[in-house]
Amino acid sequence: MSRIIPLAVGRPTGAGGWDALLAREVGPGGPPVDTLGRRLHDLRISVTDRCNFRCVYCMPKDVFGRDYPFLPQDALLTFEEIARMARAFVGLGVEKIRLTGGEPLLRKHVERLVAMLAELPVDLTLTTNGALLARKARALADAGLKRVTVSLDALDDATFRAMGDTDTPVAQVLEGIEAASQAGLAPVKINVVVKRGVNEHAILDLARHFRGTGHIVRFIEYMDVGATNGWRMDDVVSASEILERIGAEFPLEPIDPNYAGEVAERWRYRDGAGEIGVIASVTQAFCRDCTRMRLSTDGKLYTCLFANDGHDLRGLVRGGADDATLARAISAVWRSRADRYSELRTAATPRERRIEMSYIGG
């Protein structure tokens, strides 16, 4: 089967100029609101575009192979640059920061960055595939991390390998989850991407395994992010089907969101054995509450997971911009935002130029 691969292989082909945006932006003037009335609340920071897994839905090995041109070291934002940008975001109302990637635990001394960001008045979390978590959990917690989300798509090694294209055993990820819990990074959230015909049986396995542990399993609809995973609507198992399957064995009831704009819909077991979540990004788009900005590994700002192009914040910072200009720039990008991709998606939506999730930050 032939597959269209973007020219820039999942990275932007150009970055919007700042002059026009900054000329329109007189000053930050309080927390920015976008053209659809959404305020800026969370920031996801990708700290590396590299990963030790090759999940079929994110970094398929036939594209992200030995010769894939990952970003060179000098293209990456330094920790100091990230911390400076994060301060500007917090000044504009950001209350939640998630470190992600790629695999964030592959970024050398990432706990140093955690310590720098932990000084800010934000809810600081990190998403990881868990392979290195047993080794790193204590250092991350000591540095001030509050919680972690661990991705885990199955409990049996064969299915786990089929989803993650990795030799890492499931037991290693489970050890990571346990170490995180012991280190106080709890409750641990566990992200499960469900792909039709590949890991459907893992829905009940995972629900059963984590019931009563205090950890929160969140089932995610397989999304058409990037341009390389060969996504088809037929591969999606809807959140409602997932809830039906779990509810048939363990009755569920809905619970209120923790805050407006929360991505996961929350449910609890009627018998009191804890809570689960579903993220229905395909079948029940939640763009109208989307308050997320993304900062890519090389410092480009993206206002949507499905964007084609970003705004080069690193260029601005390395060009000597002062803090006020930095804040104006971020504010201007947010104020001009009109994204609602998931609400408009159809099976025929073109994907050729779309940025990869490993680069933009999942």
The verdict on 43 binding ligand SF4 (CB under 6 A) reads: no
Look up residue 150 and give its two tokens.
């661990």
The packing angle between helices 79-91 and 323-335, to 10°, is 60
d(CA 56, CA 193): 11
In the list ligand SF4, ligand SAM, none, the entry touching 94 (Cβ below 5 to 8 angstroms by class) is: none
Residue type, 306: F
- Contacting range for ligand SAM; rule: CB under 6 A; set: 20-28, 97-105, 292-300, 321-329: 97-105
Q: Measuring CA to CA, which residue among 174, 101, 171 is closest to residue 137?
A: 174
Q: Does 357 bind ligand SAM (CB under 6 A)?
A: yes
Q: From 288, 283, 284, 286, select the one nearest 337 (Cα to Cα).
A: 288
Cβ contacts of residue 267 below 8 Å, gap of 6+?
Answer: 243, 252, 253, 254, 255, 275, 276, 277, 278
Interface of this chain with ligand SF4, residues 305 to 324, rule: CB under 6 A:
305-306
Which of the listed partners (ligand SAM, ligand SF4, none) does 191 bind, with a CB threshold of 5 to 8 Å by partner kind? ligand SAM
Residue 214 carries which side chain, given as an amino acid letter? G
Residues 6+ apart with CB under 8 A from 311: 15, 16, 18, 21, 300, 301, 329, 333
CA–CA separation, 308 and 216 (whole Å): 32
Q: Does 290 bind ligand SF4 (CB under 6 A)?
A: yes
Is position 302 an interface residue for ligand SAM (rule: CB under 6 A)?
Answer: no
Q: Does 129 bind ligand SAM (CB under 6 A)?
A: yes
Q: Specify the 3-state DSSP secondary structure of 336.
A: coil
**The residue count for the chain:** 362
CB of 345 vs ligand SF4, minimal distance in Å: 8
Reading the block at residue 178, the tokens are 């346990």
The three-point CA angle 16-22-24 to 5° equals 110
- Which secondary structure element, helix H or strand E, spans residue 42, and what is its range? strand 42-46
Q: Judging by DSSP bridges, how do beta strands 300-302 and 310-312 pair with one another? A: antiparallel
When asked if residue 101 is in the footprint of ligand SF4 (CB under 6 A), the reply is: yes
**Residue of 53, 160, 231, 359 interacting with ligand SF4 (CB under 6 A):** 53
- Is there binding between residue 83 and ligand SF4 (CB under 6 A)? no
Q: Is residue 297 near ligand SAM by the rule CB under 6 A?
A: no
Q: Which of residues 144-203 bind ligand SF4 (CB under 6 A)?
A: 151, 164
Nearer to ligand SF4, 152 or 246 (CB): 152
Quick one: which segment of 46-54, 83-91, 170-178, 242-250 binds ligand SF4 (CB under 6 A)?
46-54
Q: Per rule CB under 6 A, is residue 304 in the interface with ligand SF4?
A: yes
Question: Is 358 an interacting residue with respect to ligand SAM (CB under 6 A)?
Answer: yes
Told to check if 203 binds ligand SAM by CB under 6 A, we report no
Q: Which one of ligand SAM, ligand SF4, none is in contact with 296 (Cβ closer than 5 to 8 A by kind)?
A: none
What single-letter DSSP state applies at residue 191? E
Token pair belonging to 183: 């280190």
Q: Identify what 305 binds: ligand SAM, ligand SF4, none; CB under 5 to 8 Å per kind.
A: ligand SF4
Residue 57 binds to ligand SAM (criterion: CB under 6 A): yes
What residue ranges bind ligand SAM (CB under 6 A)? 51, 57-58, 100-101, 103, 127-129, 151, 191, 193, 220, 222-223, 225, 229, 357-358, 362
What residue ranges bind ligand SF4 (CB under 6 A)? 51, 53-55, 58-59, 101-103, 129, 151, 164, 286-287, 290, 292, 304-306, 339-342, 358
